[in-house]
Every structure is written in structure tokens, then in C-alpha cells.
Amino acid sequence: FANIQRTMSSAESKRAMFNGSCNETPQPSSSSSSWRNTSNQSDTSQLSKTYRRSLIEDARQASIDASRDSFEIDEVFFENESKEDELGDWNKSSVLLLLKKESYSLSHVLSFFENNNCMNIRHIETRPSKRSNAYTIDVLLNLSSRGDALQDLVPSLKNCCLDVQIFNTSGKLKPKVYWFPKKISDLDLCQHLITKYNPDLDQDHPGFSDKAYRVRRDELASVAFNYKYGQPLPRVVYTAEETNTWKAVYRQLKPLYQKYACKEFLRFFTMLEKECNYTENEIPQLEDVSNFLRAKSGFVLRPVAGIVTARDFLASLAFRVFQCTQYLRHQSAPMHSPEPDVVHELMGHVPMLADNKFAQFSQEIGLASLGVSDEDIERLATLYWFSVEFGLCKEGNEMKVCGAGLLSSYGELLYAISDEPDHKPFDPDVTAIQPYQE
């Protein structure tokens, strides 16, 4: 454990450890004067659920006693060498926690481990933290765990600890590996929907009280759910009402493009009008648009029933596949939609996806998302939001629009290009953690 403390002495070393460059096993150092052992050795044969709970109770009492003394001395609550991890399916890990004395006690943290049959705590040690102020403590737990039991516990630990670090026996961070598609046909499994703006559930949705609209949405959703990779993209026979909604938006947005859209968008929008029947009188079909994109940048479209999770959506981009809705926004609010619709996809996204550089940028975000943590997915989705969805760019001294969310919404476009919003430079490290409201 002294090795861990030395490694944590600089930010550079912390990054190195995260990348797996530390090969030493984190162990308590008997030669370190900063960690004093006052432990009780226990017979490993008695490490049953009842015995483990009694150890934790002892640790709780020691936590209470130590808190009265403001942790002025170092404490080792117990040490236990377990034989379970010799069976082969147990993983040895060390967990380093940073706790605030006033808010969450060690007793509270230990309660997460108490009834977990997939974890055996072998060693608990505390000391006043040198990483933060005088009101924090470091807690070292050495334990054995089965499967993903420890990783599944991390979110709960993060809610009550200032910092959580996990090291396996090789001294490397042991992240949970999330499933991700390994071939393009696996995208058939990336169809997990978010129902936040669904007209059946969201009372603020313009189509919530329109039964005919909701039935039509279900019909198109069924088409998307039944689609499998390799099949022809389904063609939709749009109603006169749907075509009128498309026409109203097309007429309103097209004049704004010449003044505010970036040159890349204008170039490919003109091509789409010539080659894919982009007109105000007819809604383009996904198959025709997908063939156009494949020839220009290698991107293709596939139908989707609604808003999929950020993980599924970004994973599709890794294969240069764009998940595209086929339903339209409600006719009562043609200039804005609370969710992506075919207007947003075809008018906003498609022209920019035809540009090779923009397509490459989109794919890079997708590739970076494969198998990463939920926290990293959130950061990548935020990057996508402020660039591909609501990005602006400079052409000379003029501000131009390149984001699909702006190019498909009359009000959003005019607002974004005005002096009212706060325009910030695109810095990925900063942008990835920028709060926003959908």
C-alpha cells in the first residue's frame, strides 16, 4: 500500500497507473511508519457469512471509537487471509477510498459489503488522508470477490466517497467491460429505446392527445423493430398530412440555409436535391438517401423506432451506420420536435454525413465509445451534442451552422446564430463535461 501512496504523489503517476503502467501489487508495507498494524489474525476456516459479519461489526465499533479520536492514529481493524481466492474464480483486489468524516462513516461504507456473499474482506486499514484536508480519511480494503460483484458496487461507493480507486493483484485498474457490437450485424441488438419523449407517455408531447398520430407512430416503430441487417430499407407510403408537415418545414428552412448554413452543408444539400428527390412535395426514402451517403462518405442508414440509448447510438457510428427515424413530428408543431424525426435526420444530419471529414469525426466518437464506462459514454454523448447536434463553425469572420439540431429547427437556428447564447470554443476536454438541458 505504501507503493500506492508513492504512486499517487503526482497527477502524472496517477494517469500512468490508470493506464496500467504500475506492475506492483498494492500491499500494506510493514516498513512504512505511516501505517501501523494493530490487527487480529483470524482462522481462515471460520470465514463464513456469520463470521464475516462479526468482523465487520468489530470494524464498525473501531470506526466509531476512532472517529471520537479524530483518527489521530492509524488503525488496522482486522486482517484475514482467505483461502477462497485459491479456488480460481475469486479475484484479489485492493480498494482505496477517500471519506469525509462528517458525512459518511466507515460503518456506512462497510454496510455495502456486509451481506454480499460474493465478497470477502481480508483487511481494513484507515489513516488521516494526505490527499485532501484534515477532515478526510483514507480507507484501504483488501478483499476477494467473484465475477463483477466489486464493479457492481462501485456506483454505490461513489455516492458516499470523495474518491474510489480499485486495483487488482497486478496493480492495474480493473474496469468493467461492457458489451459492444463487434460486427455490423450486431447492430440489430442495439435497439434499446429511451421513452422520455414518447407521445404515449409524455403529456407535453404535441401528439399525446392525438390517438391517430400515436397509432401511426406505433406502425412505423414496428417496421423499424422488424428490420434486420442486410434487408432492403423499408419504404414508407407517407400520408398527405405527413407530406404537408414536411412541406411546411422545408419551405421555412431552405431560405435560411443560404444565409446561415456552412459551405459543406450547402454543397451536399444541393446534391441531395438533384439526386435524392429532396423537394418540398415529397419525403425522401431512406434507401435512396442511404445509397447516396454510401457513395459519398461510406455512411449508411438503418431504421430505428425512436430515441435509442447513447451507448447504442454511438456504437452504430463506429460502423458508419446512422440510426434514422421514419416518423414525422406532429402537424400542430412543424417547426420544432421534442425528439428526432425524419425531418431532423434528412434535413439536419444527412447533408453533413456526406462530407468525408465530418463523417470521420462522427465515426471517431463512435469508435471511442465501444466498451467504455457509462461515465465515458456520457462525456462522448456530450461532445456529440455540442458538435454534431448543436455545433457552430467559423467561415472567415462569419458564424455558420453545422449542427443537425439547429439545421432542422427554425427557432433553434435563429437563436443559436444570434448574440443571445454564450458561444464557446470547442475544447474537447471542457466540452465533454459541459452541462446542458435537452
Catalytic residues: 344, 349, 389, 408
SS3 content of the chain, % helix, strand, coil (to 5): 45, 15, 40
| Helices (H), ranges, 336-418 | 342-343, 350-353, 356-369, 374-384, 404-407, 410-417
What grid cell was written down for 330? 406532429
Say what the alpha-carbon torsion angle 274, 278, 284, 289 is, to the nearest 10 degrees.
50
Instruction: Tell me the backbone φ, ψ of residue 258, rounded to 5 degrees.
Output: -60, -30
Whole-number Å distance between alpha carbons of 315 and 76: 45
302, β-bridge pairs: 323
Q: Quick check: 325 and 313 in contact, CB under 8 A?
A: no
Whole-number Å distance between alpha carbons of 201 and 198: 5
For residue 163, what is the enclosing H or E element? strand 163-168
